[in-house]
């Protein structure tokens, strides 16, 4: 999740919204040390004001896209990444949005959060749940940004992980050829 959120943070710093983050658009190295977001075919600039376009994969769409809000931003990604996180934890989709057309009017109503019941502390630590819950806030004004999620205590020991350093990653890239 740290690598995915770092990728989203970098995209958002460049004012890019992917608009279709889902497991099929996430590449994982064979040794599971490198994770990359791919397929930017639906990506757009956050600086361009566009009319609402129904894009992306239904299951991973943030509620504001389902409600056809015209002004969406990088918080779309954090919702999608939260949904991906649920699949990483329990190995299956949390819920399917086809029912959304019937419940759209109810999305604005505050309901009791049942997420902790689906992800008890034996499955996801208190710190991990804080991240998941923050990513899956229906109200985008309360949802965590990628940058804010990365500051949560769940990621405080990330330096202890054996992730490739920037120098190693750069050396793995193909060398640019000079054109004569």
pLDDT of residue 178: 39
Burial 67-97 (b: 16+ CB within 10 A, else e): eeeeebebbbbbbbbbbbbbeebeeeebeeb
The string of pLDDT tens digits covering residues 60-71 is 888 888 888 777
Instruction: Give the dihedral of Cα atoms 87, 88, 91, 96; nearest 10 deg.
Output: 0
Average pLDDT, rounded, for the chain: 80
The residue with tokens 């002004």 is 71
Domains and CATH numbers, the chain: 2-40+55-159 (1.10.510.10)
CA distance 124 to 116: 9
The overall pTM is greater than 0.75: yes
The string of pLDDT tens digits covering residues 72-84 is 788 988 999 999 9
The residues carrying an active-site annotation are 20
The string of pLDDT tens digits covering residues 14-45 is 999 898 999 999 999 998 888 999 999 988 88
The string of pLDDT tens digits covering residues 78-127 is 999 999 999 999 888 776 665 444 444 455 555 567 889 889 999 999 99
pLDDT of residue 31: 87
For residue 8, pLDDT beyond 90 = yes
């Amino acid at each position: 999740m740290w690598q995915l959120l770092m990728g989203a943070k970098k995209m958002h710093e460049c004012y890019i919204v992917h608009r279709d983050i889902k497991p099929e658009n996430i590449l994982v190295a064979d040794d599971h040390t490198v994770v990359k977001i791919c397929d930017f075919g639906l990506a757009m600039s956050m600086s361009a004001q566009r009319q609402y376009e129904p894009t992306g994969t239904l299951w991973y769409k943030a509620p504001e896209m389902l409600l056809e809000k015209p002004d969406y931003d990088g918080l779309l990604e954090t919702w999608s990444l939260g949904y991906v996180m649920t699949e990483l934890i329990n190995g299956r989709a949390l819920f399917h949005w086809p029912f959304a057309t019937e419940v759209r009017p109810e999305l604005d109503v505050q309901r009791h959060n049942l997420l902790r019941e689906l992800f008890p502390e034996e499955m996801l630590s208190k710190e991990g749940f804080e991240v998941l819950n923050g990513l899956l806030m229906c109200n985008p004004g309360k949802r965590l940004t990628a940058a804010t999620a990365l500051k949560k205590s769940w990621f405080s020991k990330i330096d202890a992980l054996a992730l490739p350093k920037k120098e190693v990653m750069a050396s793995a890239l193909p060398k640019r050829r000079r054109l004569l």
